Amino acid sequence: MTVREILQIGHPSLRQPAAAVPPADIAGARVQGIVDDLIDTMRHANGAGLAANQIGETDRIVVIEVNDNPRYPYKPRIPLTVAVNPELEVLGDETVVINEGCLSVPLRGDVVRSVHLGVRYLDRDGNEHCITARGLTAGTWQHECDHLDGVLITDRADPSTLCTWEQFEQHHRDAFIERITRFNERVLA
C-alpha cells in the first residue's frame, strides 16, 4: 500500500491541466503504479474520488469510489472506478446545487453541477466504457474531471457559501443532507 501526499490548494500542480494518457501506455508499470497509488491514497483519506494531479502526476486519470464513506454518508454507492482520459457530455439543462468538499481544499461550498452526464473513459485495462451518471454521482464525476483541467471548487463555488468542514458539520450539514437526499431520490427514481 502506497499512500501519497495529497497536494493542497496553492500547489502549482493543482492548476496544471493533465495530459491524455496514450492508450498503449495504460498497461505499463508507471500508469498502473499511479492507479494503485490513487486508490490507496483515496481510501486512506476517505475520499469519494481523487485525480492524478492531486498527487502530483500529470496524467488524465481519476479514481472514484463510494462505499459507506464516513465523509459522504449521503452519496449513493459507486463501485471502484478507474477512469483514464475521462470525457464528460452534459445531457440536458437540469442543474443542482451541491455543497462539495475536496481533499485538496480545506473548505466546502455550494457548486452548481449538471444533473445528467454521459461519461466515456478507458479503465485500467484499456477497455472503453460509456456510462450515464446522474445526481450526486454526476457531481462527483464533474468534480474529479475539474481537477484534471486545473479547476478547484473555489473557482466554482458561491463565495458566500464557503466554510470549513467543522462549520459545515455544525451549521449546514443537516439541511444539506435533507435537501440533497430528496433531490437524489427524485433523480434516481
Q: Give the CA count within 13 Å in the CB-facing half-sphere of 57.
A: 22
Closest CA to 87 of 117, 127, 113, 63: 117
The label of the residue with cell 493533465 reads 18
Active site residue 89: no
The three cell numbers of residue 132 are: 450515464
Write the DSSP symbol of residue 56: T
| Catalytic residue of the set 128, 144, 178, 185 | 144
**Beta strand pairing call for 61-66 and 49-51:** antiparallel
Cα–Cα distance for residue pair 112/157, rounded to 1 Å: 8
Cα–Cα distance for residue pair 108/154, rounded to 1 Å: 9
Q: Which residues are catalytic?
A: 144
